[in-house]
Amino acid sequence: MAYDRVHGVWLVSVLALRDAGSSLPFSSLLVSRSGDGRSWSEPVVTARDESRFAHDKNWIVCDNGPASPYAGNCYVVWTDSNTGALAVSISGDGGVSWTAPALAPSASGSGWQPLVRPDGTLVVIYETERSIDSVRSLDGGRTFAASSVVSGLRASPVPGMRAPALPSAEIDGAGRIVVAWQDCRFRSGCPGPAAPNDLLIASSQDGVRWATTRRVLTAPILNGLHHFVPGLGVDQASSGSTMRAAVVFSILGPRGCTSETCRVQSYFVSTTNAGVGWSAPQPLGSAQPLDSFPQSTTGRFLGDYVSTSFVAGGVAVPVFASATGPFDGRFHQGVFATRIPPLAVQEPLRVGQPTVTPRRPRVGVRVTIAAPVATVSRGSSTSAVRREDHAFG
């Protein structure tokens, strides 16, 4: 769903499926319009039914930038299932009509996340087999430049779950793009069943050059557990070093569980300093056994996407899926939301430059680790830094 400020309408893009009596249904893409978010128009066809599974992973965004030369353009992007390439359709009249689908041969993958910078640059984030990539258009979605690599992608399969490493992307008030995804690169044995996925983020000012990838801090509470299906939100009222962002995601636990004992639970973390420090993970609802979720051909199906949005006052609203154990012969899964005010962040440890001293047959290493320490004085809290020297032989 997207809001078109210029035409004052909400637009929702729908993947419509028609049963073909085979393993894959026939697909088409539709858009409905609403002026109030309550009543909706009859759908308009964005990409027609071709009597095959022709379209997948659709997403919609509108250009609302006051200074953008393409303000009022709305874009639906998706995977052309015949080629695997990015497909794009554009509306300039509030979703009443759409251009014929056009392919962007420079981008091939899945999990498309379109974003529009304040200057009208359309940036699309997506995944390939080995990387998270981006591609951008400088002319209102008509042509696309060569793709850029956001980061390499190394993700372990989540045991028992259908949980592909699809990216989630948002943009802050100054146009900086932030991407989150699941990845196991910081774990030994990655990728593999013994290497759990963490959550990673990366950011860019232009969609071409990307800052160093960081891990979203969820340790020690969730350390060693599989993290999957992140839904990133960025507060557009913030930017720079005070950017507010939040991620809702699921974990699989407890550690070392089996398909009979594993449970799925949703969690929430947030940052008020552009991802340097994160709040302690907040559980959202109770953990549920795997068989609470329906079986797909590739594992239990929570859903490919969740999301987080910000409202006034820096309040985050995570929207997530959960379920209860099946009864009466049916599954019972729903989508939920809650309001979470800004939370205090946990500052990460700062590790100094190690000093290495040969001590045959071993090597000595000394390193300084600085950890923030919260102190309370007369009802107000401040932070100091505790430094410790650690020696290893």
Number of structural domains found in the chain: 2
Same domain, residue pair 331 and 365: no
Same domain, residue pair 178 and 274: yes
Tokens describing residue 50: 């071709």
Within 10 A of 156 (CB to CB), how many other CB atoms are there? 22
Same domain, residue pair 362 and 302: no
> Is-contact 42 95, C-beta < 8 A?
no
- Phi, psi dihedrals of residue 312, rounded to the nearest 5°: -55, 145
pLDDT score for 348: 67
Cα(364)–Cα(169) distance, integer angstroms:
43
Question: Which ranges in 49-159 belong to alpha helices (H)?
Answer: none
Q: For each successive 10 residues of the chain (393 residues), what is the average pLDDT? A: 97 95 90 96 96 96 97 98 96 98 95 97 97 98 97 96 96 96 97 94 97 95 97 96 97 88 96 95 94 92 94 96 89 95 81 80 77 43 47 50
Handedness of CA 233, 70, 206, 79 (dihedral sign): positive
pLDDT score for 377: 35
**Residues 105-115: pLDDT tens digits?**
999 999 999 99
Same domain, residue pair 178 and 239: yes
Same domain, residue pair 293 and 387: no
Residue 340's closest CA among 266, 392, 274? 266
Same domain, residue pair 310 and 364: no
Range of the domain at 378: 355-392
Prediction pTM value: 0.88
Same domain, residue pair 268 and 359: no
Cα(56)–Cα(61) distance, integer angstroms:
16
Judge residue 12's burial from the number of C-beta atoms within 10 Å of its C-beta, 0-12 exposed, 13-18 middle, 19 or more buried. middle
Cα(61)–Cα(9) distance, integer angstroms:
12
Tokens describing residue 225: 């557990």
pLDDT score for 381: 38
**Residues 59-108: pLDDT tens digits?**
999 999 999 999 999 999 999 999 999 999 999 999 999 999 999 999 99
Cα(334)–Cα(338) distance, integer angstroms:
13
CATH (domain of 159):
2.120.10.10
Same domain, residue pair 240 and 382: no
Same domain, residue pair 118 and 142: yes
pLDDT score for 258: 82
Return the SS3 of 233.
strand
Q: What is the dihedral of CA 269, 272, 273, 274, to 10 degrees?
A: 60
Same domain, residue pair 62 and 166: yes
Cα(13)–Cα(129) distance, integer angstroms:
26
Cα(138)–Cα(184) distance, integer angstroms:
34
Same domain, residue pair 369 and 309: no
Same domain, residue pair 277 and 380: no
Amino acid at 181: W
